[in-house]
Amino acid sequence: MGDEQKSATKEFVLAVKNGVVLRKESCEKCGKNCRTDGHHEDYSKPLEVVWLCRKCHVGRHIQLGWGIMPRGRNPQQKQGPRDRKEWMQEGGRRLRGRRTDLELSVAQVAAMIGRSVAQVARYESGESDPMRPAITLAYARALRVRSLSRLYLDGIVEAV
């Protein structure tokens, strides 16, 4: 992380913690009500952010060529998949890996999350996006992880 980015991030985090900057409750791009991330377009303006849901934030980083940046990761250090299809495929591989680590069948996970076997197979192949609110909590419980987005996104960032 560059010095300007570190400084801006630190100042921004403190401003949010101290109530100087108030987190918006909905994404400025898609309007989804959720816990938003503050995205800096310009690190020379540390308190000016665009409030985005996680999905739109990741999409913006991909659009800028930064790859996927899971929370707490440095986008300059690693670069992730270049497009949505690529990161969904990698995320699907991670879901499948976690499921097999737990020795669960596709049918067992499907029953746990209330989806069909075919749908779980689509999630694991990267054909469908499991990052929908109704699915993520059940999927996270089934795979015994705290956060599906963390499993799905964290560690995906690889050098391109």
pLDDT of res. 75: 42
**Is the confidence at residue 51, as pLDDT, over 90?**
yes
Residues 6+ apart with CB under 8 A from 126: 85, 88, 89, 90, 91, 92, 93
What integer pLDDT is reported at residue 129 of this predicted model? 77
Arithmetic mean of pLDDT, 81-100: 77
Model pLDDT, residue 50: 93
Q: What is the CATH number of domain 84-153?
A: 1.10.260.40
Q: How far is CA 23 from CA 37, 76, 115, 149, in A?
A: 8, 25, 33, 20
Whether the pLDDT of residue 42 is over 60: the answer is: yes
What is the residue-averaged pLDDT of the chain?
Answer: 76
Q: Where in the chain is the domain with CATH 1.10.260.40?
A: 84-153
84-90 mean pLDDT: 76
State which H helix or E strand residue 37 sits in. Answer: strand 37-39
Of 154 and 3, the one with more pLDDT: 3
pLDDT in tens, 106-121: 998 888 888 899 998 9
Q: Whose structure tokens read 């499948």? A: 96
pTM of the model as a whole: 0.44
User: Residues 143-160: what's their mean pLDDT?
Assistant: 52
